[in-house]
């Protein structure tokens, strides 16, 4: 009697949901079981800080696929269930309901959780009912219940999530203050010119953006049951009706580490998404993979990466291995600004601006020794598409040509391509 191989996928997020259907498309004949701690089918997180926060789209529109797709693909989804333990010698996982499950191949797609605010003076603040993180549908439902016009919202952290929330909140009529410890918004991910544009646009819409401020404490309201104000290092007190903390992500690697898998800023995988155990894979935000184009290991937090890693793991599992080898990219939508970024800018020796940096349509190209490392493009989808090619193909470029709008970017590709 032939035994059907079983793939167990831990986590039911973006990477997991995409993997389940990719496995079928790739010809996987055995069982597929998706185990997720959340109550929902796999869904997209980007709208959580955009159209779902604003209420423009409904919960059902966040789902990657409806239940019927998993049913017809023969994928079993177990929501509201955590994997508590992996036993690699017996090839089993133990679930929160006490059951255990056999696997032939195991895929860890556990994503990450919001980094908690734990600096001195901030202890206990995030237990208050008007303080929120933003990672899941349930987080947004709680936030939306307190999103009233006129409410004073303080956002801690001016990364993508914080700024996207600010853009939605100000449109909804809240009073919005953004507090950032760095000298500028988006400091970790972009060039000063782009940060300056975002600060300008947010302020023009009425957001009070404060950089280089440290939040050092908080005050509770008269009944002690909600945060009433935040205290800053410079002595200012900012009254708040609600607080949203967006200070980054911590990858969920504890399960893998407890099972003895290699973990170093993410679950370590090879270019086929295999972990240090060849029967265990890791994909998405929780994994750290070698990127062929940049010649370094990366842990990325983006939908394109989650999908590409799911595709790579599916190909390996279906016996058609193809190494992961793509240019990382990311997007962010705020107001009318469509930011698309490609590559990794660390170590650049030249920054070239193309277009009107004072306006709302330009690109910043990061070069190292005449090759493009990265590009941040604002309302310029064409520049973005070409930048991905310049980066992937290591095209030799001159800064003057890139900056000159009378020269079409396309003409800078090598003649053969
Ligand atoms: P996740 O989507 O986090 O899924 C992991 C799942 O695993 C979770 O549901 C978790 O509960 C579950 N899990 C963890 N441990 C266990 C366990 N032991 N047992 C069972 N289940 C478990 N990316 C972009 O590219 N563009 C954007 O504009 C963008 N905007 C974003 C906005 C917000 C507010 C957020 C939060 C993220 C955004 N991202 C964006 C990032 C993107 O959503 C993530 O990169 C993507 O969701 C990663 O997918 P994943 O499957 O690796 O992890």
Q: CA 11, 256, 44 angle in degrees (round to 5)?
A: 25
Tell me the H-state helices in 213-360: 254-258, 303-317
Per-residue pLDDT at 72 exceeds 90? yes
Q: Quick one: average pLDDT of 202-212?
A: 98
Residues near ligand 1 with C-beta < 6 Å? 10-16, 35-38, 45-46, 48-49, 82-83, 109-112, 134-135, 161, 252, 255, 284-286, 301-304, 306, 330-332
In tens, the pLDDT along 335-391 reads 999 999 999 998 999 999 999 877 889 999 999 999 999 999 999 999 999 999 999
Distance 414 CA to ligand 1 centre (A): 38
Model pLDDT, residue 242: 98
Give, for 86, the enclosing helix (H) or strand (E). Answer: strand 83-87
Among 45, 51, 134, residue to substitute to test ligand 1 (most atoms within 8 Å of Cβ): 45
Confidence class for position 329, pLDDT limits 50, 70, 90 = very high
Distance 285 CA to ligand 1 centre (A): 7
Q: Looking at ligand 1, which atom is closest to the CA of residue 304?
A: 25
Give the DSSP letter string of 255-287. Answer: HHHHTT--BSSSEE--TT-B-SSTTEEE-GGGE
Q: Where are the beta strands (DSSP E) in 139-274?
A: 152-156, 175-179, 208-210, 215-220, 227-232, 237-239, 242-245, 249-251, 267-268
Q: Looking at ligand 1, which atom is closest to the CA of residue 113?
A: 3
Average pLDDT over all residues of the chain: 95
Q: What is the pTM of this model?
A: 0.96
Rounded to two decimals, the ipTM of the complex is: 0.99
Confidence class for position 219, pLDDT limits 50, 70, 90 = very high
Confidence class for position 278, pLDDT limits 50, 70, 90 = very high
Model pLDDT, residue 358: 79
């Amino acid at each position: 009697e032939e035994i059907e191989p079983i793939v167990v996928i831990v986590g039911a997020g973006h990477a997991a949901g995409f993997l389940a259907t990719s496995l079928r498309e790739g010809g996987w004949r055995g069982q597929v079981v998706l185990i997720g701690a959340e109550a929902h089918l796999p869904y997209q997180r980007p709208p959580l800080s955009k159209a779902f926060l604003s209420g423009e789209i409904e919960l059902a529109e966040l789902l990657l696929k409806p239940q019927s797709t998993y049913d017809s693909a023969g994928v079993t989804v177990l929501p509201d269930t955590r994997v508590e333990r992996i036993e690699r010698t017996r090839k089993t996982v133990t679930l929160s309901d006490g059951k255990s499950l056999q696997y032939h191949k195991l895929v860890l797609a556990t994503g990450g959780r919001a980094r908690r605010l734990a600096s001195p003076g901030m202890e206990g603040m995030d237990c208050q009912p008007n303080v929120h993180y933003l990672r899941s549908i349930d987080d947004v439902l709680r936030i939306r219940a307190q999103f009233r016009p006129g409410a004073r919202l303080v956002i801690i952290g001016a990364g993508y999530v914080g700024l996207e929330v600010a853009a939605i909140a100000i449109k909804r009529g809240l009073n919005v203050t953004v507090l950032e410890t760095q000298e500028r918004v988006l400091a970790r991910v972009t060039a000063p010119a782009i940060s300056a544009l975002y600060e300008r646009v947010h302020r023009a819409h009425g957001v009070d953006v404060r950089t280089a401020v440290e939040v050092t404490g908080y005050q509770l309201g008269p009944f002690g049951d909600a945060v009433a104000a935040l205290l800053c290092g410079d002595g200012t007190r900012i009254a708040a009706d609600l607080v949203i903390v967006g200070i980054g992500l911590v990858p969920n690697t504890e399960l893998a580490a407890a099972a003895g898998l290699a973990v170093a800023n993410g679950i370590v995988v090879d270019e086929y998404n295999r972990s240090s155990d060849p029967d265990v894979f890791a994909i998405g935000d929780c994994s750290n993979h070698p990127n062929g184009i940049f010649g370094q290991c990366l842990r990325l937090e983006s939908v394109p990466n989650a999908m590409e890693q799911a595709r790579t793991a599916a190909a390996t599992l279906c016996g058609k291995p193809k190494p992961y080898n793509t240019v990382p990219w990311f997007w962010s939508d705020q107001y009318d600004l469509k930011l698309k970024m490609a590559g990794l800018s660390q170590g650049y020796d030249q920054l070239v601006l193309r277009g009107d940096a004072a306006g709302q349509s330009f690109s910043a190209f990061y070069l190292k020794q005449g090759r493009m490392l990265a590009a941040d493009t604002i309302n310029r989808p064409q520049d973005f598409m070409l930048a991905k090619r310049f980066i992937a193909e290591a095209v030799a470029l001159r800064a003057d040509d890139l900056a000159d709008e009378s020269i079409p970017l396309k003409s800078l590709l090598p003649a053969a391509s």
